Amino acid sequence: MRNRALRIGGAVKTLVLGIGNVLLQDEGLGVHALAELQRRFTFDEGVELLDGGTAGVELLRYLDGREHVVVIDAIAAGHPPGTVFRVEGEDVPRTFHQRISPHQIGLSDVLATALITDALPAEIVMFGVEPHTMKTGLALTPAVEASLDKLVDTVVGELRRIGHAVQEREDPAPRCKEWSPC
């Protein structure tokens, strides 16, 4: 069954939010994944891709008016490094309460504020990858880099499930292995 969706001009309003610190290797996964989505695909007008970096409460304004939010982040959940997994519903805010980096606390506050102000989207899904390390460095570790295609394809599948048109680019630019504004 297809979820109800907020439509503006016929387009489903979905935010894809990549979060993380690109200076700490696997911690920057969400931002790396967002760059990979932009490199490999084009999206209909109802999809907005947002590099949330390590932002916190300032992300609240991006949730307002959304029916769907897809969050991409590194999540230390005790799985083998590089494991891709999905968190949804009430488990999303709980996941951020258990985390320790500054952006995770900030996003927890954003979700709590959105709930109180009735700005919480009807559907929040988070796709995570188990990090290997969060040491200083601009590149993902080999285990997490190896899972990037699976993660990106999973996010694309979610967007298509919601009802978005997602097209693969015919000749995408080469992938950047280290974070840079390629």
Residue 168: what pLDDT? 96
Read off the DSSP letter of residue 1.
-
pLDDT digits (tens, 9 = 90+) for 18-57: 999 999 999 999 999 999 999 999 999 999 999 988 887 7
How crowded is residue 107: how many other Cβ atoms within 10 Å of its Cβ?
A: 27
pTM of the full structure = 0.84
pLDDT digits (tens, 9 = 90+) for 94-110: 665 555 444 555 666 77
Residue 166: what pLDDT? 97
How far is the C-alpha of 26 from the C-alpha of 147, rounded, in Å? 11
Opening angle at CA 117, ends 9 and 61, nearest 5: 50
Domains of the chain listed by start with CATH number? 11-165 (3.40.50.1450)
CB-CB contact of 85 with 53 (8 Å): no
